[in-house]
Structure 1
Amino acid sequence: MTGPSNFKFENNSFSFLYRFIDVLILGMALATMLVLYGVELDRSYLLLLAVELFLFTYLAESAQLYKSWRIGRFSRMIWSLSGILLLSFFLIVAALFILKEGETYSRVVILGWFLCAWFILVAWRVTAKAIKTYRRQHGLSMQKVAIIGLTHSSMELHRQIEENIELGFDCVGFFDDRDAERLKEFDPQLIAGSIEDAVALARRGAVAKLYLCLPIWAEKRIATIIQALGDTTVDVLLIPDFMLKNLMHARIGSVGEIDTISVFESPLNGMKDFYKRSFDILFSICVLLAIAPLLVIIALGIKLTSRGPVLFHQDRYGLDGKRIGVYKFRSMTVAENGDKVTQATRGDRRITPFGAFLRRTSLDELPQFFNVLMGDMSVVGPRPHAVAHNEEYRQLVNYYMLRHKVRPGITGWAQVNGWRGETDTLEKMEKRIEYDLAYIRNWSLWLDIKIVYMTFFTGFTNKNAY
């Protein structure tokens, strides 16, 4: 996974319209099916519609369905929409089955409702995209933009504008005062003029937006340019050229009347934390109920094959670097939890035969669902390391501790991509941290569901797990 731009290009001004149309389509699709099959719209179907609207909206917001989707990700948005709709209807059908209310509703109506809603939801998005793309390709509703500063961030900005025509931007070029010697890592021919030329374009109304992509230490130069643009109507947007790829979650905030830009901040705040926490609780309860007999069998297997307790308690770092106690089924003859912990290696004599099976299949991690219920962990997140390993690697790997901006998880993006087990080299740990931070930057509830799904196929067994 590659991290997206940390600063969003634009807010999706049509997001409210998308939400309204989606809700309208779901209601109209149900009404259409009821009319076609001669079924009366009574209180039971109104209740069903209300539940579906709640589930669909909840899942859509959690999966960030209404964010600004760039043209290259349109297919992903359609897949996301389809998955959200399918999951919401699956939950409804499962609830009707469990509550034995299936006879109250027509199966044909529910199936037709789902298919009709899916077709219209996809069709109107495809149509809207086609119309928007057609208009952009014919130069309609295009905005002229200019970029001040030839830097890495401005090159990325220009690439995004060129690749995503639906943004509606026409870049007139880069403007910079530096000579060719100072721009030797870039092509000087990209320069369309000086900064004064860009200001002149803004004053003539020849550009609608002007992006400032100068190094953050050029504060005085930036202030001078902004002051010169003060008597124009151009939109001025600042994209600082510093540590962009390392920003955890860039967000504009304020302290009183002082504006701030977050550099390292968890993306899970407000309702996002509520969505993730509610998913954790519901999923953990369902899993624990389903695997209760398996937990008993594993506990008996441990007691019958080796001496010692069934559960192993180890201190780990949790959210914000606070210590938590993580539970695992004991798989070794020792229970190390001190200042020095030796990682398990291939052929490790401390591992019991039954414990080796538990570790290969990740069954030793199952008690951590109780940690999830207690709020110490999440179903999905960076895997918690032993405190001793944290103290070692935080000195060796850049941004290591940023993985603690979210709750640690039972499974994670690094694990399903193969970065699991012994980290016998620094490069392996660096790669694991790279994936952990990519997960945090790109978090959505839909990504959590995807990782849980992938865990069933790649996460339970792994050649690197000893």
Structure 2
Amino acid sequence: MTVVHTGRYSKFIRPISILIDLTVILFFSFFLFKDLVSNVLILVFYQFISWGLIAYTINFYDVYRFTAPLEIASKIIKQGILFLLITIAFFPFYKDAVFSEKNISIFIILTIVLVTVFKFSLFFYLKEYRIITGSNYRTAIIIGFTPEAIRLKNLFETRKDYGYRFFGFFSDKKTNHDITGKLTDLKSFVVENDVDEIYCSLKEVSNNYLKDLMEFADENNKTIKFIPDTKEIFSKNLKIDYYDFFPVLSLKQTMLNEPEVKSFKRLFDILFALSIIVFVLSWITPLLAILIKLDSKGPVFFRQGRPGIDENEFICYKFRSMRMNKTTEKEASKDDPRVTALGRFMRKTSIDELPQFINVLLGDMSVVGPRPHLWSQNKEYGNKVKKYMIRHCVKPGITGLAQISGSRGEITSDRDMINRIRFDVFYIENWSLFLDLKIIFQTIINIFKGDKKAY
């Protein structure tokens, strides 16, 4: 089963912006400091780390389609000043470096000027591109027909550079030809028209409806934002943005949605996967290839399409642990006759999963994350288990919190899947590097101990 997913190029804007900034730093560092620092690569590495930490601290790359140019300028000034101070701090502590006020001044000025030019050029180009072509837009609906809701609708229609297409109002409290439908019509409309963002006027909905709406948005990977009014709704889970002077409240994303965190996690994945491929897979693959061929007929590797991030399909690799059969969408059960003698050992020790480090290197998977389910399981539990689809907002993992917490193996009841999803959602909402390291460490222990549910 294959799911076709159409995305926007917006997800590439931040990585491109980061890459441009680091390239500028790299170029000017070599050009201005190659004669002042014995090993300029050490300086460049120091600058890359410093630039990244500053950017993460001040949210330098948090620039959206509604961000004001003045706010972008403020971020650039903060980034430039802090980066200047940290660059200066390098020289007194590196004995093989000569401090040059002139070169540092030129370096900072040129770097910030070019970063500013690229940042504003990209920002304004995208705005003009949206206006001229109508591309890279988001579709939006509004719950409620209040004066604030009408103001927001007018803003969408007058500020074409924001890139929004308004699809209609939904309300039970107003009868008007401008109303697209009632609240009961909203869910089907959102799914059928692939609506991206739901804006909710809190004057129009009850607490129970709001809770149900947030669960619906989670399960269907939709963004929900709130039009503030007199209700006391501000909390640590809400952040405020301004579309011109119009305030909009959004639910804060998890750490794993932050571009800096995703970049760090990706770097960790690459380094970890490379170490496993070089030091383990390089010698164990030919050995297992011989044993697998001797054990049963068929290929060494088992390849199967699995749902990945945003439910896009990828090919998941494993060492083949079953005899050739036509029931690959059926998960393994205890004493499964399809599993070979060697396959039982590989599954017990999770050795069959090692080729998935190739998936990690290709960018389809992460070392730690929710395990990729079968398409048949997605179809069965996607609308049955609450928050099931949230697991697709991050890359699937070779190991995960559910696996080290006893929720692995065969799914024999809805309760088994509910427990697994509970751990997956907890991991996504509470990610930290320490949690990843803990999961990896516990996984290694389980490999040597063996897991009674691994069959």
User: What is the TM-score when the length of structure 1 is the normalising length?
Assistant: 0.48
User: What is the TM-score when the length of structure 2 is the normalising length?
Assistant: 0.49
